[in-house]
Structure 1
Amino acid sequence: MKKSILILIVFIYSFQAKAQESIIPDEVKTYIQSRVNNQVNVGIVVGYIDDQNIDYYSYGNTAIENGTPVNKKSVFEIGSISKTFTATILAIKVINGEMSLDDPISKYLPKTVKVPTKNGKEITLQHLATHTSALPRMPDNMSPKNENNPFADYTYKQLYNFISNYELTRDIGAFSEYSNLGMGLLGHILELQSGQTFEELVIQHIANPLQMTDTRLVLTQQMKKRLAKGHAGLSETNNWDIITLGGAGGIRSTTSDMVKYIKANLNSDSGKTALDKAMQLAHQSAFKSEEQHIEMALAWHIENGKFLMHNGATGGYCAMSAMDKVDKKGVIVLTNSNENVDAIAIKLMVPSYPLQPVKPSVAKIMAKKIKDSNIDEAIMFYKNAKVSQADTYNFDIEQLNSLGYQFLEKDQTEIALALFKLNVAQFPEASNPYDSLAEAYLKSGEQTLAITNYKKSLALNPANDNARDVLKSLDVVLEDVFISPEILKTYVGKYQLSLDFFITITTTEGRLFLQATGQSKFEIYPSEVNKFYLKVVEAKVEFKVNTVGEIDQMILFQNGQVLPGQRVE
């Protein structure tokens, strides 16, 4: 499985950088070059604002094969930065008196939609805009025809059906728990209120006033010509067409356009226009939790009481934006790779932030050896280098996985199989290598071996819905695990994993929940008796029974760590 994890007055600003020396430090440029040269990212474009000075830096290409150099006019998916556009449009409606942040969302949704409530409290527009609605991160009724474009066929009917049948697992407004579903729903509510599509709202209220001609949900013909192709690892991947939940992450844009957007946000305190006032409102603190160590404006994350930040990611892109309104500094970083670029933005905003050295990709060396010699030579190099040059190259799990997909997509299945087998041998306790190997076996017609490896992947990560779906399509019967409410109650308690870190287990209506110190509550699902898994992250929990048959210990398995916790309550 591939690694997978958004006013009618026209402003006229001068967004062209003055003739000047670059204000982007050489250290940042060198770091960007190292990321591209070592095939961590394919292309990176940065737009940096320091008061009235604007600077751009571009490095890399629009594609690994036959690409052209990226620049400030190259088009990228900005992912969840789209949420700040959604919040700004909501703020415009509030400023104009058309909506109120305290409006319950049921006011705008069709009467046929049964909006969930909790303890007599309703979800409001502000709850959606601050991720405090208690709605989950994603709806669980998505069944995409193409998993590499997972939102393309998700419909409003499916959205309504999920909302109507979802039961909230925690109190509304109590925690901020990131929800693409909630912000996508907010974008749709803005559509219902206005009678316009979300894209039309973006164009009317933000893109046109700021002369952002390359900021759209649907690519124009001109944008297509300048599209930087998305990449998962070293492989080109599909663009994500996000329409129904477009307010959560559907926008495409350029660095040049996004600099205009960041600049307008930085200068919004002038309050000259409705858009200025709306941006001011969107920047104000709207939720703060000392327990969670989190502060939210409308969609924007507030860090250290000073910085407004939001990043984004889709299947083949990552993005990061940040602003300091006091010092009038802002940054936007876009890449056509699913590799995080937050560090670049943080470094520009906080010069003392240390940039970690980037190791060369072992996959790049292997790809050359396969081309110049053969797969056997490449595998021999990998094994020797991992022993003698372990600190020289990047040997993480995605190196072989991404390289394998490069060959699988070129129908060079035997080479892909050899790479995936090597990855399984190197990371035998990880789920994804088995999933990838299974996919290659299936493509080569070896269904029995594919089933074996999909089952192994699912055993290691029961939340791997891809493996589950493929097995079902192959008519493999998978038994659902049922744990009685009586047994679930035996797990309830507080477990101490360190001096000041606890995990609390609770049960409600036959479902089990986990909550770590300072974090939100998440449902955990049984894989077998005493063993559970999370869907929000790849993690597992195992409960241990003592000699008298009582649960007295819990073990958390996550990111290769094994963290035991003794029951203290």
Structure 2
Amino acid sequence: MKDIKHGVVFFRLIFFLIILISSVSCVSSSAKKDKAQVVEQLIQSRIDKQGITGLTAAVVYGDQSIVTRGFGLRETVPEQLPVTEHTLFQIGSVTKIFTAIAIMQLEENGTIDLDADIRTYLPEFHPKSFGTVNKEITIRNLLTHHSGLPSAYFKDFTLEAPDPDAFMDTSNMLSEEYMVWDSGTVFAYNNSGFSLLGELIGRVSGSTYEEYITDHIFTPLGMHDSLVMLSSKDEPNVSGGFTRGEPEDLMWFIKDIPAGSILLSAVDMDTFLRELLNCSAGKSNRILQPETLLSMFSLQNMNTPLDGSFKIGLTFWIESQNGCDVFEHGGTIPPFYSEMEIIPEKGIGIFLASNDNAGDNDQLTSLTMDIADLLIGKKPSPSSPLINTEISQETDLSDLAGYYVNGGTGIVSIENIDGVLTGRIPEMDVKSPMKILSDNSIAFGDTGLVFKPTTDTDKAVFLCYMGNYFMGPVSAVSPEPVSSVWRQRTGRYEGAGFIDAVDLSFDEKMGVLTLLIESETDGNMRFALTELSDDLLKVQGYGRNMGNIIEYSLSESGEILKYGGCDFVKRN
């Protein structure tokens, strides 16, 4: 069976190479110079417009480097220091691509099997389950964020001092948590799942995660600037962070190193992009065999209705731009943001990183797409599907009005306010007349938020998008009877860490217990809850931030709610 699989991959590779050779021609030096100048002007104009303090960029076109440099400043006090091509930027979750490549190397040499249960290699890993939830999780599930583990997990997210081994206890930490649904059910972005993969790498390779990434990716490619993690706050040549020029505190040290701690320079970004493009074209195998990299680009979630039109390979997100397949990933570790995309059939690679909250992922994604448009040659955009605004017909109101919940928005109400269908998300300060689109999607005014109807699953009524970004399924809030036991436990519970507090309350209008998550770092969000027992509640809905099981207990400190791996103590 394995030989047949490799044979299929081989012929797919040959077909891919034929397309590639026919579509990518050598870029002349003059054309390269012209493209570089236009791209640099575009980047600089966007930096000036948004007030971004510093940005580092690597752009490859026709398999040749056309931009490898820094823009703006890496420090403003006590003196202004420019971003150079060697300045290091935190790249956040683009780190996951390096972790995934390490996993694929171990699969190539026969050390692991992507379709084996992770407990084959981490036998002490035993998450709890409620009801009939299946606890089997494959490595493939983890690579695609379909593990069924709670995605809202914040225990020890940031650390006071560097600890390269803290994540090596992830299997034990997650064994204290409940599975939220069967693996493979829905995409739910999960940092702790990648820490579990990092623990696997450290366990089976005989090296630490840091040693493995350095020895098997950085060193073979000559990525001499790169760091797997910060070892101190005095690390030389690391950019500071800002909000429109004003210095910001950094997330210096995080527990989930395999999910988001790597630092890269423009020079090393360029090296990495060119290797991915050369490998995908069958011209290099320094870190992976070409067929292995192509398998990472293959669609993994084609039979997952709750994922809607969202496409993911083995960690690479799959998009389409101007008729070309795009393989990409972004990263966020405020105030640092990054976006990476490669378009193999055009020999294009783009990697941008910002050191400023003004240059967040929305801005970098837009800039990355504009650069790709310049290099590919932009095609006309389709006309807007908008056919009505401010829907007020009684039939539409009766069909759509109600309460909904989504992992990116929390609870959403759609109401008839003075005859106008209006969407409200109080925690996000959204109150907007709805617009209906030609595909029967409903848009929240001009916010970019869109609910698209789905009939492919009984677990959701809409799929939520912010622009082109998939935010997960939208489920109708289910009113639930609440026992007197839980009514007595309502109130504010405070913690210390990434989440400041949670507020448990009963909403009479919706007829459901709700949990308000309060985070100065990440904003507030409210979720609907279902009572499972006298000690357990479950967050309603599917996707990122959904499904978490909340545990109640008593301790010497008082009444405790455990949510996202963290304990919160009741204060009123």
- The two structures have a TM-score, normalised by structure 1, of 0.58
Aligned match for 1:334, one of 341, 353, 361: 353
Alignment check: 8 A CA contact 1:513 1:523 kept: yes
* Per-residue deviation, residues 354-407 of structure 1 (Å, max 9, x unmatched): 99xxxxxxxxxxxxxxxxxxxxxxxxxxxxxxxxxxxxxxxxxxxxxxxxxxxx
* Per-residue deviation, residues 41-70 of structure 1 (Å, max 9, x unmatched): 111122111113211153211123323221
- Answer yes or no: is 1:515 the counterpart of 2:541: yes
Using the alignment, how far apart are the partners of 2:28 and 2:250 within structure 1?
Answer: 35
- Answer yes or no: is 1:255 the counterpart of 2:280: no
CA apart distance, 1:85: 0.5
More helix per residue: 1 or 2? 1
Corresponding residue of 1:316: 335
Using the alignment, how far apart are the partners of 2:56 and 2:80 within structure 1?
Answer: 15
Corresponding residue of 2:81: 68
CA apart distance, 1:231: 2.3
Q: Residues 523 and 234 (structure 1 numbering): CA distance in 2 closer, same or farther, change over 3 Å?
A: farther
Corresponding residue of 1:133: 147
* Per-residue deviation, residues 264-297 of structure 1 (Å, max 9, x unmatched): 1112131753623442332222223454221111
Corresponding residue of 1:37: 48
CA apart distance, 1:327: 1.3
SS of residue paired to 1:284? coil
CA apart distance, 1:334: 1.5
Using the alignment, how far apart are the partners of 1:343 and 1:74 within structure 2?
Answer: 23
Using the alignment, how far apart are the partners of 1:261 and 1:140 within structure 2?
Answer: 30
SS of residue paired to 1:202? helix
CA apart distance, 1:513: 3.4
Q: Residues 238 and 160 (structure 1 numbering): CA distance in 2 closer, same or farther, change over 3 Å?
A: farther
Corresponding residue of 1:303: 319
Aligned match for 1:51, one of 31, 56, 62: 62
Aligned match for 1:119, one of 133, 138, 142: 133
Structure 1 residue ranges without an equivalent (≥5):
1-16, 356-427, 432-460, 472-477, 493-502, 527-534, 537-569
* Per-residue deviation, residues 544-567 of structure 1 (Å, max 9, x unmatched): xxxxxxxxxxxxxxxxxxxxxxxx
- Answer yes or no: is 1:349 the counterpart of 2:372: yes
Corresponding residue of 1:192: 203
Question: RMSD of the alignment, in Å?
Answer: 4.2
Using the alignment, how far apart are the partners of 2:141 and 2:342 within structure 1?
Answer: 23
- The two structures have a TM-score, normalised by structure 2, of 0.58
Using the alignment, how far apart are the partners of 1:213 and 1:260 within structure 2?
Answer: 10
Alignment check: 8 A CA contact 1:176 1:520 kept: no
More strand per residue: 1 or 2? 2
Using the alignment, how far apart are the partners of 1:489 and 1:520 within structure 2?
Answer: 20
What pairs up with 1:223-238 in 2 under 5 angstroms?
A: 224-232=235-243, 234-238=245-249
Structure 2 residue ranges without an equivalent (≥5):
1-26, 382-425, 430-490, 514-525, 552-562, 565-572
Using the alignment, how far apart are the partners of 1:90 and 1:194 within structure 2?
Answer: 10
Q: Residues 172 and 218 (structure 1 numbering): CA distance in 2 closer, same or farther, change over 3 Å?
A: closer
Q: Residues 225 and 154 (structure 1 numbering): CA distance in 2 closer, same or farther, change over 3 Å?
A: closer
Using the alignment, how far apart are the partners of 2:218 and 2:28 within structure 1?
Answer: 23
AA at the equivalent of 1:350: D
Moved more, 201-210 or 80-89: 201-210
Using the alignment, how far apart are the partners of 2:42 and 2:283 within structure 1?
Answer: 38
CA apart distance, 1:86: 0.6
Moved more, 59-68 or 507-516: 507-516
SS of residue paired to 2:66? strand
* Per-residue deviation, residues 127-157 of structure 1 (Å, max 9, x unmatched): 11000012233423227565xx8x8699347
Alignment check: 8 A CA contact 1:488 1:507 kept: no
SS of residue paired to 2:82? coil
Q: Residues 199 and 154 (structure 1 numbering): CA distance in 2 closer, same or farther, change over 3 Å?
A: closer
Percent identity of the aligned residues? 22
Alignment check: 8 A CA contact 1:145 1:153 kept: no
Corresponding residue of 2:298: 284
SS of residue paired to 1:207? helix
CA apart distance, 1:77: 0.8
Using the alignment, how far apart are the partners of 1:157 and 1:482 within structure 2?
Answer: 36
SS of residue paired to 1:333? strand
SS of residue paired to 1:350? helix
